[in-house]
Amino acid sequence: MRGPHNIWRLVRTGATFERTGAMGAILDAYDAPPLLRLAARVIGWPFQFLGFDGDPEMPPVPRALSALGPAYIKFGQILSTRPDVVGPDLAQQLRILQDKLPPFGPEAARAVIEADLGDKLETLYSEFSEPVAAASIAQVHRARLRDTGEDVAVKILRPNIERAFRKDIDAFYLAASLIESLSPASRRLRPSEVIRHFDGVVKSELDLRLEAASASEYAANTSGDGGFRLPKVHWGLSSKRVMTMGWADGLPLGDNAALDAAGINRAELGERVLTLFLKHALRDGFFHGDMHQGNLKVSAEGELLAYDFGIMGHIDEYTRRVYAEILYGFIRRDYQRVAEVHFEAGYVPADQDVDEFARALRAVGEPIFGMDATRISMGRLLSYLFEVTDRFGMQTRTELILLQRTMVVVEGVSRSLHPQINIWEVAKPVVQEYIAQSIGPRALARDLALTAKVMARFGPRLPGMVEKALIQQIAEPKAETLNRWPIRLVWGVGGVVLGVIAAAAIAGGL
């Protein structure tokens, strides 16, 4: 959908940013060069009258984004999870964005349901409420299933939201390319890559089947976690634009008075919130990426209920092991080991000095350990850690940024329930358990067994791969790379075979 409308949308955006004061705030935050400042003023200042006023009670940037509509609100919410891109101060401001928008009418909701589910609304639900929540992409209704009488939540995408987002995202791509052209220094922040990330997130949220799949996977992973429950996905009543889940009925975590009146042990609940998050991140590598009080309730039985699975975080097994070792090293105040883990993982370039890096990590950890238990923060530790690793040339890792942001949110929820919580004491057994299961002889045996399975799948092709490599070696004897890599391939295959034998021997002795 490239075209002149993108230019018009950018003019309207610049006018709104100028009118609300957001333009100056952003340019100052990034210490923008003169050429970029001039271009921004040219786009925004003469057309201020075309801009939206927004809510004057909000800070300038959230005010402008809220005034510009759903795509901008969602963009701001996603940027709030990327302090590496917008800086910690602006990220904090963006967290106040509330995407409570006017709901769309009941007839539009009915039309979406009947078109997507292929039946009359009254045939599917015996009761269907007015919207109970309306956000930038979808709204939620409370309903009752006609066949079972179960109370459910029905989430429905806004009509034509896909087209509206597509138009604005195209304008975002144009803005990113202009910024990169006018300000070469901005390229280190990779504006186009940020927009691609946003585009991918939005595409996922615009297909409610993917959110339902996330909820289903999350429920399967956590089915054995005591005191934790997720609403059930009703797949037969879900589609790309409609999702039906069990209703999460309980007390909101933000109402301490109600929790106390119900006899809920808030200290235990606060520790449970933190423990469960760490378990999900380390054990499963799949965690709720928006675990704030608005997405958590407590059932009458005292179970923690989570819902809204639009933002989920994923960490691969290797990264989890590295992350656990880093956390455990800080818990033990073994800064040399933390530094070595960063180098072994390739997070910090090999040309840096590991001892100097260890001293920099000590400067991060020691002040935190000197704090009172009520002020110790794992989220603050991770934030400081990212600052140090940036100075030593570490590349940004998006999955760890989301983890750090969620860790901060979860800590805030835990402290609101239990102000005296000691974050390290709660985290230590979770990290120790994960390390015991994931690092050592048993983990090695599992890794080698998995390697053997992969090699078994490719086994019939290995002779051909070796033969092809040797033929290339003979055909191009002067190519140094080809001289070496067949030998490496043979040694690699031999190493895997020996590894499989070793795994079998270890497994037999377990």
Residues identified as active-site: 290
Cα-based torsion angle of the residue sequence 52, 56, 58, 63 in order, rounded to the nearest 10 degrees: 10
Residue pair 421/414 in contact by the 8 Å Cβ criterion = yes
The C-alpha atoms of residue 409 and residue 428 are separated, in whole angstroms, by 19
Q: At residue 368, what is the residue type?
A: I
**Cross-strand partners of 228:** 304
SS3 assignment, position 440: coil
Report which of 32, 79, 13 is spatially closest to residue 186, judged by C-alpha positions: 32
End-to-end CA distance of the chain: 60
Q: What DSSP state is assigned to residue 395?
A: P
Q: In what order do the strands lie in the sheet with 296-298?
A: 228-229, 304-306, 296-298, 251-252
The C-alpha atoms of residue 467 and residue 473 are separated, in whole angstroms, by 10
In the block, residue with structure tokens 């040309």: 351
The C-alpha atoms of residue 468 and residue 413 are separated, in whole angstroms, by 58
Residue pair 71/169 in contact by the 8 Å Cβ criterion = yes
Residue pair 142/129 in contact by the 8 Å Cβ criterion = yes
Q: What DSSP state is assigned to residue 37?
A: H
Q: What DSSP state is assigned to residue 312?
A: E
User: CA angle, 229 as apex, 225 and 232 as ends, to 5°?
Assistant: 130
Report which of 389, 383, 380, 337 is spatially closest to residue 360, judged by C-alpha positions: 389
Residue pair 170/182 in contact by the 8 Å Cβ criterion = no
SS3 assignment, position 229: strand
CA distances to 69, 409, 442 from 295, in Å: 23, 12, 37
User: CA angle, 40 as apex, 96 and 166 as ends, to 5°?
Assistant: 60
Q: At residue 179, what is the residue type?
A: I
Q: Compute φ and ψ for 402, nearest 5 degrees.
A: -65, -40
**Cross-strand partners of 305:** 229, 297
CA distances to 251, 299, 305, 324, 417 from 254, in Å: 9, 14, 13, 30, 8
Residue pair 90/61 in contact by the 8 Å Cβ criterion = yes
* Cβ-proximal residues to 414 (8 Å cutoff; 6+ apart), any chain: 270, 271, 273, 274, 421, 423, 426
